[in-house]
Structure 1
Amino acid sequence: MQKKLHIKNLKLYLSIAAIYCGLALLSDLLSNAKTFNTRAANDIWRTIYITSICILLYEYIVPYIRKKKGFLKKFILGLFTLLLYIFFFTLGSYGWRGFGITLHIFTPFGSNDISYEGASEQFGYNLFSVIFFGLIAHTYNHQQLRRRAQQLQIEKQAAELNYLKSQTNPHFLFNTLNNIYSLARDKSDLAPESILRLSKILRYMLYETAGTYVAIEQELKIIDDYIALEQLRYDDSLNISINHNIENMKQSLPPLLLMPLVENAFKHGVSETRGEPFIDIHLSVNNRQLLFQVRNSSEISDDANLIKENIGLSNLRRQLELLYTDYKLTIEQKQSVFSAALHINLASHV
């Protein structure tokens, strides 16, 4: 049973001892004001003894018994502990009392002889004291465990969110580089302009997305840059409509949160459309309620009701789970049109 008492646990027991002794002092002050000083010394002397046996019980004996395997071993040790504490609560308490008298610290107000009535009184008093210490210590430790569990959960969610971001950004960059590669392969005069626009996007990704939030106007600007970069690949046949209704452009949201829906419209929508491709984008933010709608042309699969989410949409859905408590993401494939609608209560940020 070699265990060192942690400094935090020692502070906890000293704090409980201070509360316990304070209650005893208050009781003496109210009921025995004339002999308060003498009784106060007695209370402090008793508190030292009670604190010591509580530390021994809760920090050493109980953990030691818990570690033992087998019901019989635990039963025997538990029985031995019970007998030991009966001794502590009676004869041990008398011994501590006598030791205090010898040192002229403790002043007896009754008989100093050991009697059945005195032993019963000491046993009940000490038993209550140990239960008092145990309840407070258990409640405090339980709250600390809950707090640590919550902190670990927060750290775990933050790590997962960072991982999702680390997946999203390279995924976004990979798609953009593919577009530039297509222009370069076709020896298009638009390749230099596309590289310039890409540099703006990279600058945003390097310097803006590291933070927790960005202003909505910044998110809109990077969406505009991305759309302009994508448009370089298409001729006038691609029809893009984008509009917004935002009461405050300085409102914040996580960076690149809306981008996966725009990316999806290009990569899995208009790029696979053989007819007249189009993308309609609408963003509104009013009273902290965000609505982001993206509609795009899309080829109907063999099973139009089966929608398979790509990595961008899957990551977006998981990020929303980690970031907000009040949101809704709905996607629908219908009549050669793919639509996505994202509703977020921005005030519900975790």
Structure 2
Amino acid sequence: MKSFIASPRYDLPKRLLRHFLFWLAYYLYDGPISSIIEQDPAARIAIAAMAMPVKMIAAYFTLYLLRRIYNEKSDPVRFYSYLVLSIIFFGCLQRTVSYTVIYPHFYPNGTSVPLFYPPKVIIETFGVYSVVAIVVVVHLAKQWYVSQQEKQQLRNEKLEAELKLLKAQIHPHFLFNTLNNLYSLTVTESKKAPEIVYKLSQLLSYMLYDSNKTTVPLQMEIDYIENYITLEKIRYEERLDVSLNVFNNIDHISIAPLLILPFIENSFKHGFINEIGKVWVNIDILTSDNQLIIKVENSKGKIEADAAKSAVGGIGLLNVKKRLELIYKDRYDLHIVDEETYLIILKIKL
């Protein structure tokens, strides 16, 4: 998987730039911007610069060392001990910087109280860790965002893998049925065998190349179905009556490839089982109320054998149901009516 987080070697300049911009923004706020309301703006700008090093060190200590200890989750006592000690240490360190560097230059009266005067230490500590808190929150927010992006990519890759698997199962299922037809014709030395080979090559071209696309023009899918019907007409000859009707302009419509075929194939494979008389299939494709509607209805044999629901016959419909759920989710509606005829109605929101 291609990670959203680049390798350290290539990401380091960008990270350094982001950190630099963050601290620059903080300094501009704490120094020049805040100095607008001060009586001595220059002093405020200088004090902000002098106070920044301790805040930066405390922020990176918390972000990289303490967070690593926390993520290990092996010794909570160790983490909280380090946290408390670091808060005390950096609070006292900031107080020392203020007492020995800042106060003598800008607030001489500030040295009148002891160095580690508790109220002053507490104030300095809050000043440091208010910045540390901002840094940690920003960092955690970024990590959460990256984590969500990676999870989404994993979901997308899993979805793509599932769809490829389902399409890969469609191919052998279709080939199994078509090669059976071809075999029966070659056994009888039928002159129609070469035509089947030609039509089969066209279908394989579609499956190998166009079916790898996310969507294809609906007309391309219909052309594919017409080739399939041609093969079945060669098999059933005069016994078969097929009606394929397209009622609206479909030039602007695209769908997932190999989505309609399993319904058509199911009609031929299992709708005519044990039937020796006339058989028929009606296929209607239309648009209505911003929906693509596909109806496939076929005659049923007089003998309703359990073989019609065999495992081989269930592969196509089972796969297309899974693909519909993965691709269209709540944008489709599928109804299957098994009564005097076998009727499938698929509606897809455009």
> Would you call these one fold, judging by a TM-score over 0.5?
yes
Matched, 1:200 2:202: yes
Q: What is the identity, as a one-letter code, of the residue corresponding to 2:319?
A: N
1:93 corresponds to: 94
Query: Residue 133 of structure 1 aligns with which residue?
Result: 135
- Are residues 1:55 and 2:60 paired? yes
Aligned match of 1:256: 258
1:46 pairs with 2:51: yes
SS in 2 for 1:255: coil
User: Are 1:168 and 2:180 matched, yes or no?
Assistant: no
Does structure 1 residue 144 correspond to structure 2 residue 149? no
Is 1:24 equivalent to 2:30 in the alignment? yes
Counterpart of 2:337 in 1: which secondary structure? strand
2:322 maps to amino acid: R
Contact 1:13 1:137 in 2 (8 A): no
Q: Which range moves more in the overlay, 317-326 or 171-180?
A: 171-180
Taking the aligned partners of 2:235 and 2:304, their CA distance within structure 1 comes to: 24
C-alpha change, 1:77 and 1:237, in structure 2 (3 Å) is: closer
Quickly say closer, same or farther: Cα 1:182–1:288, change in 2 above 3 A.
Answer: farther
- Per the TM alignment, residue 235 of structure 1 is displaced from its structure 2 partner at its CA by 2.5
Aligned to 1:312: 316
Q: 1:323 aligns with which of 324, 327, 340?
A: 327
CA gap 1:135/1:199 in 2 versus in 1, 3 angstroms: same
The separation in 2 between residues aligned to 1:45 and 1:261, in whole angstroms, is 75
Distance, in Å, in 2 between the alignment partners of 1:190 and 1:99 is: 101
Matching of residues 1-350 of structure 1 within 5 Å: 7=12, 13-25=19-31, 27-32=33-38, 35-69=40-74, 73-89=75-91, 91-97=92-98, 108-109=106-107, 111-112=110-111, 114=115, 115-286=117-288, 288-299=290-301, 301=304, 310-325=314-329, 326-335=331-340, 337-346=341-350
The alpha-carbon deviation at position 122 of structure 1 amounts to: 0.3
Does the CA contact (< 8 Å) of 2:336 and 2:345 recur in 1? yes
**Aligned in 2, Cα 1:180/1:54: closer, same or farther, shift over 3 Å?**
same
Could you give the per-residue CA deviations for residues 180-201 of structure 1, whole angstroms, max 9, x where no partner exists?
1121112111111111111221
Unaligned runs of 5+ in 1: none
Shift of 1:154: 1.4
Are residues 11 and 250 of structure 1, via their aligned partners in 2, closer, same or farther at CA, if it must alter by over 3 Å? same
Q: What is the aligned-residue RMSD (CA, Å)?
A: 3.0
Q: Distance in 2 between matches of 1:154 and 1:96?
A: 52
Q: Helix, strand or coil for the counterpart of 1:234?
A: helix
State the shift of 1:271 in Å.
4.2
CA deviation profile, 1:121-164 (whole Å, cap 9, x unmatched): 20221222222222222222222222221122112111211221
For residues 191 and 237 of structure 1, the distance between their equivalents in structure 2, rounded to whole angstroms, comes to 18
Q: Which amino acid aligns with 2:321?
A: R
Q: Secondary structure at the match of 2:140?
A: helix
| Larger helix fraction of residues | 2
Count of aligned positions: 334
For residues 221-273 of structure 1, the C-alpha deviation after alignment (integer angstroms, 9 at most, x for no partner) is: 11001001111011212221111112232421121111111111111222443
Say whether the 8 Å CA contact 1:216–1:251 is kept in structure 2. Answer: yes
> Structure 1's 81 and 133: CA in aligned 2 closer, same or farther, altered over 3 A?
same
State the AA in 1 paired with 2:182. Answer: I
Deviation digits for residues 285-307 of structure 1 (CA, Å, limit 9, x no counterpart) = 3454111111112346478xx99
TM-score (norm 1): 0.84
Whole-Å separation in 1 of the counterparts to 2:227 and 2:37: 80
Note the alpha carbon deviations across 1:64-121, whole angstroms, 9 max, x for none.
134143xxx41244134212321212x211344478669xxx9544525623332122
Give the 3-state SS of the residue equivalent to 1:246 in structure 2: coil
| Residues 87, 188 of structure 1: alpha-carbon distance in 2 compared, 3 angstrom cutoff | same
Query: Aligned in 2, Cα 1:99/1:214: closer, same or farther, shift over 3 Å?
Result: farther
Q: Which stretch has the larger CA shift, 51-60 or 261-270? A: 51-60
Q: Distance in 2 between matches of 1:99 and 1:144?
A: 43
In terms of mean alpha carbon deviation, does 140-149 or 34-43 score higher? 34-43
Going from structure 1 to structure 2, the CA distance change for 1:147 and 1:11 (only over 3 Å counts) comes to: farther
| Cα distance in 2 for residues equivalent to 1:290 and 1:278 | 23
TM-score normalised by L of structure 2: 0.84
